[in-house]
Amino acid sequence: MNKQSSEYKFIDLFAGIGGFRAAFENIQNNKLECVFSSEIDKFACQVYEHNFGDKPSGDITKFEAKDLPDFDILAGGFPCQPFSYSGRLEGFEDKIRGTLFFDIVRILNEKKPKMFLLENVKGLKSHKSGETLKTIEDTLEQLGYTIYWDILDSYNFGVPQYRQRWFCVGFKNNIHFEFPQGLKGGTILRDIVDVNNEDDSLKLTKFESDRIDYHFEQMKVSDEKRIQHDSSKYAPHTKKGKHGVYSFLKPDKTLRFHIGDKAKTQIQEAYYSSLDSVAPSIIATREPKLWDLKRKLSVEECKKLQGFPEWFEFNVSNAQAKKQLGNAVTVPVVQAIIEKMIYHHELNIRASKEEQLQLI
């Protein structure tokens, strides 16, 4: 990757394997330079260093904000730890101290960069009935930033994955901003899956394979859309033993297994995508599975599911790679946001210069 003189410098906090950085470095005009990164997971650091040539610094809580290099953009997907309101003390620091969001705040307060981009789970919007989000908004605005946030779905940015995430941008100047909504929906797993991959390590267990077969066998001889499975193997006092297990092929070509009576609210027990469907959100504890190929997605396919560039490589185990991908941001989504941030920031600069010229 070429290193040219950059117009914008950024720091990469809670960096993981480098989803934010990959998005920055994907931007073709190459006006962005990473001057600091931070991550504590040793396997994520290993992958990050392998791909970007520098190892992230350790625990951000151990760094003094004043010791960080100067930068223009702060980026980070901060962990959503519970916010503590003990004592209901006055001042925004008392409401966020003890969370990793506090470290973002103290860095913004000290370094005062031009912009920032934050990411978190969709649930942040409703956490504690919106009280957590209100604290975040108030805190960032008290630091002098104009902020905007939205929930974006990765599916709308060219990857076959339903993944809704909260994004927040902030500008030191009063800049108008509109989030990109993405116009690339319509991809399916067939677009990224290697149908010729017969890696035995990816195959589903015999138990999973057998009950998938059972579902489709019963569909041929029954008018029922929901297929009841044998639950006698489960202890009677368990949910599966008490309510039974059912499977249902949805119109979107995903196969769902549920615990519960057909007429009642179902508790999802397993989820299988297909080549002609879209994957659910990949998370650290769940990797997508295909009922029609009877296998899990490979690391390379999960990488494509998250929109990482072809040059990105893993030098850790497959299990670690999938875990880290589940924790990562979807690269095309972040890239689209950054490009819009820079566009609006530079538009504001040009407008300010024009105003100054008119006053001369």
Residues 9, 69 contacting (CB under 8 angstroms): yes
Instruction: Report d(CA 312, CA 328) in Å as an integer.
Output: 13
Backbone torsions φ then ψ of 228, nearest 5 degrees: -90, 135
Among 69-83, 128-142, 221-235, 244-258, which stretch is predicted with the lowest mean pLDDT? Answer: 69-83
Among 5-9, 54-58, 153-157, 329-333, which stretch is predicted with the lowest mean pLDDT? Answer: 5-9
Q: Is 302 annotated in the active site?
A: no
Query: Does residue 66 have a pLDDT over 70?
Result: yes
pTM: 0.90
Query: Does residue 6 have a pLDDT over 70?
Result: no
Please list the residue range(s) of the chain that carry CATH number 3.40.50.150: 8-184+325-359
Give me the residue label for tokens 């001889």.
Answer: 221
The secondary element (H helix, E strand) that includes residue 346 is: helix 331-359
pLDDT value of residue 5: 47
- Report how far Cα 169 is from the mean position of its chain's Cα atoms: 16
Q: Which of 34, 45, 80, 302 is catalytic?
A: 80
pLDDT tens-digit map of 28-49:
876 899 999 999 999 999 999 9
| Mean pLDDT, rounded, for 331-342 | 97
Confidence of residue 50 (pLDDT cuts 50, 70, 90): very high
pLDDT value of residue 91: 45
Instruction: List the one residue out of 140, 169, 127 whose CA is nearest residue 152.
Output: 169
pLDDT value of residue 243: 86
**Would residue 166 be called left, alpha or beta, if left means φ above 0 and alpha means ψ between -120 and 50 degrees?**
beta
- Tell me the percentage of the chain whose pLDDT exceeds 90: 71
Instruction: Report d(CA 207, CA 209) in Å as an integer.
Output: 6
Please, what CATH class does the domain formed by 8-184+325-359 belong to?
alpha beta
Q: Which residues contact 302 (CB under 8 A, 6 or more apart)?
A: 282, 287, 288, 321, 322, 325, 326
Instruction: Report d(CA 350, CA 72) in Å as an integer.
Output: 18
**C-alpha dist (Å) from residue 290 to 186, 198, 208, 267, 317:** 18, 13, 11, 20, 21
pLDDT value of residue 360: 60
User: What integer best gives the mean pLDDT of the chain?
Assistant: 89
Residues 115, 73 contacting (CB under 8 angstroms): yes
| Mean pLDDT, rounded, for 181-202 | 93
| Mean pLDDT, rounded, for 183-192 | 91
pLDDT value of residue 29: 73
